[in-house]
Structure 1
Amino acid sequence: MGRNSKEGCLGQVRQRRIYAAIREAHTEKEYPLELACELLHVARSAYHKWASGKLSRRAAENEQLVEKLEQLHAESPDKGYRRLNDNLRHDCGIHVNDKRVLRICRARDIRSTIKYNNHGCTRRAKTPQYLAENLLDRQFYAAKPNEKWLTDVTEFKWFEGMKVQKLYLSAILDLCDRRIVSYVLSERNDNLLVFKTFDKAVKANPDAHPLFHSDRGFQYTNRAFHHKLVQA
């Protein structure tokens, strides 16, 4: 989608907020409509068109999206735009791409209350025993469950007095609905952590044969893990 369409989507959402402000000033605070429109640089004819509901199809869709996204965000403020779009798709039957949802969320200042940092801690193997081709090729979506699994190890660090404590989370995520297929917590970032995570996922989904994507960390590029992939 080009720059003009991006700006158009943002402009529609911002314009809606301006129209809503004019309506509030006029109806609730008895501000003269002509003056409110003049101060906010809006033609009265444009405002009346909006107030009467004569919006373009795209603008009407964006209004519905704003309403749904604000409702979903109020219910789950921890969710980012991708997970909100998952809810739109699975719970509301609304199918739009992530970029459109992101633009609307930015325009409405809808953002997750949780800040995510990149704490991926898998170390690249110095002498990898097996390197697979990158079949995913940045196509981070899937049409059905168990089609594509994504995995990584995350490090959590905190202090107890002056001593640093660490905990490692290995997880496998389904790219269709972003559910966590399996996860394992450990005090050690080693092969066993990754192997246990994979074994749990396979045991819970015995009929699944997904494309399995990871980085080239030492746990994922050894022969033992490759053997597990082949056997699964």
Structure 2
Amino acid sequence: MLRNLETGGVKGKYAIIEELSDFYPVTLLCELLDVWRSAYYRYLKRKQADPDGVIKQRIKAIYLQRERTYGYRRIQGELERQYNEKVNHKKVLRLMQEMGIRSIIRVKRPYFNNYQTAQSDGRVSPNLLDREFTATKPNLKWVTDITQYRVGEQRLYLSAIKDLCGNDIVAFHISTRNDNELVLNTFAKAFKQHKDASGKIADLIVHSDQGSQYTSHEYHDLLPKVGAQISMSRRGNCIDNAAMESFFSHLKTEALYPYDISSISEAQQRIEELIRFYNNERIQIKTTDAN
């Protein structure tokens, strides 16, 4: 009820009046919430003409709040989270189709390796993860990768680590240089936050591709110091690290591609905001249907 009052505007107030009208006079409720009684009754009349009108309004509010990136399944989850409204996902889809709204389609883009080919003296590790993209508790399985985003003639590089238990981003580092320091700084942040009193992270597997940063001697010296096992995809096989690829796809689709970004600082800000949202608010639907 309070959420309706805080986020629903005038229509949220009407919903509260409707909910309380069996216990208190409508005139009193309208006075307390500072709305016209006649306007409230017009609201009821419109609602009776379209029994799904309120749900449609809430769907549209969520859709705009999430900048048109949410499909029917995530909107279903937000309806329950924000309004305590349980609606079948098929109904949410039908209502969205009636309103002519849908999530921004994630454009299929050609896959390009974001990494340089491992040097001949680099170290390559076996694929311990073996596409098992789930974990029963935190700090058992991390996946990591680097992606890039171009702003004019400049490139911005993002190194990120994702925990497969809960799919949170454990740590990330942004730079205009795609070098070993980019990756090493990312892991320094992660280890500082997650290692125990002995300086270890027990039973941790860290999975990456065979990029030059991950085959470097510095990387292979760093991870064993905290007890981590190194796992790597087969060369050129992005599916072996699909969980990380999926995150980068969401990030670019939702935080970067929809906007006319003109500066490195703006791109960095949008990336940081998306990661905060992803870790703290995003409803993650474990399904092959992106909508």
TM-score of the two chains, using structure 2 as the length reference: 0.42
Task: Report the Cα offset of residue 205 of structure 1.
Answer: 0.5
Structure-2 change in CA distance of 1:178 and 1:78 (3 Å) = farther
Q: CA deviation at 1:112?
A: 5.5
RMSD between aligned residues: 4.1
Map of 1:166 onto structure 2: 155
**Residue equivalent to 1:205:** 194
Shifted more, 210-219 versus 135-144: the winner is 135-144
- The letter of the residue matching 1:140 is F
Alignment CA distance shift 1:139-1:74 (3 Å):
farther
Question: Which whole-Å CA distance do the structure 1 matches of 2:108 and 2:134 have between them?
Answer: 20
**Residue 193 to residue 177, structure 1, CA distance change in 2 (3 Å):** same
8 A contact 1:120–1:155 mirrored in 2 = no
2:209 — aligned with what? 215
Q: What amino acid is aligned across from residue 201 of structure 1 in structure 2?
A: A
Does residue 152 of structure 1 match 2:132? Answer: no
SS at the partner of 1:224? helix
Moved over 4 A (4+): 69-81, 108-120
Partner of 2:222: 228
- Deviations for 1:113-169, whole angstroms, at most 9, x for unmatched residues? 66585565112213142111101111112222111111111111021xxxx111111
Confirm whether residue 125 of structure 1 aligns to residue 118 of structure 2.
yes
The number of aligned residues is: 153
Q: In the aligned structure 2, how far is the partner of 1:138 from the partner of 1:190?
A: 27
Q: Output one character per residue of 1:99-118: Cα deviation in whole Å (capped at 9) or x when no partner.
A: xx9xx98xx89645665855
Structure 2: runs of 5 or more not aligned:
1-47, 51-58, 82-88, 227-291
State how far apart, in whole Å, the 2-side matches of 1:217 and 1:130 are: 10
Q: Is there any run of 5+ residues in structure 1 with no aligned partner, and where?
A: 1-26, 30-68, 92-100
Alignment-derived partner of residue 196 in structure 1: 185
For residues 16-58 of structure 1, the C-alpha deviation after alignment (integer angstroms, 9 at most, x for no partner) is xxxxxxxxxxx969xxxxxxxxxxxxxxxxxxxxxxxxxxxxx
Partner of 1:138: 131
Mark the CA change 1:28 to 1:70 in structure 2 (over 3 Å): closer, same or farther: closer
CA contact (8 A) 1:150 1:173 kept: yes
**Aligned partner of residue 228 in structure 1, secondary structure:** helix
SS where residue 212 of structure 1 aligns?
strand
The amino acid across from 2:174 in the alignment is L
Check whether the contact 2:143–2:208 (CA below 8 A) recurs between aligned residues.
yes
Q: Is the 8 A contact 1:119 1:154 kept in 2?
A: no
Contact in 2 for aligned 1:119/1:155 (Cα 8 Å) = no
Contact (CA 8 Å) 2:214, 2:220: kept in 1 or not?
Answer: yes
Describe the SS at the equivalent of 1:167: strand
Distance 2:166 2:134 in 1: 9
SS in 2 for 1:192: helix
| TM-aligned CA distance change 1:124 to 1:79, over 3 Å | farther
Deviations 1:46-103 (A, max 9, x none): xxxxxxxxxxxxxxxxxxxxxxx9998776467678x95xx79xx8xxxxxxxxx9xx
Contact 2:68/2:102, CA 8 A, preserved across alignment: no
- State which of 167, 173, 184 in structure 2 corresponds to 1:178: 167
Tell me the residue number matched to 2:6.
none
Percent sequence identity over aligned pairs: 35
Cα separation, partners in 2 of 1:199 and 1:187, compared to 1, 3 Å:
same
CA contact (8 A) 1:170 1:185 kept: yes
Equivalent pair of 2:123/2:215 in contact (CA under 8 Å): yes
Check 1:126–1:212 CA distance in 2 against 1; reply closer, same or farther (3 A cut).
same
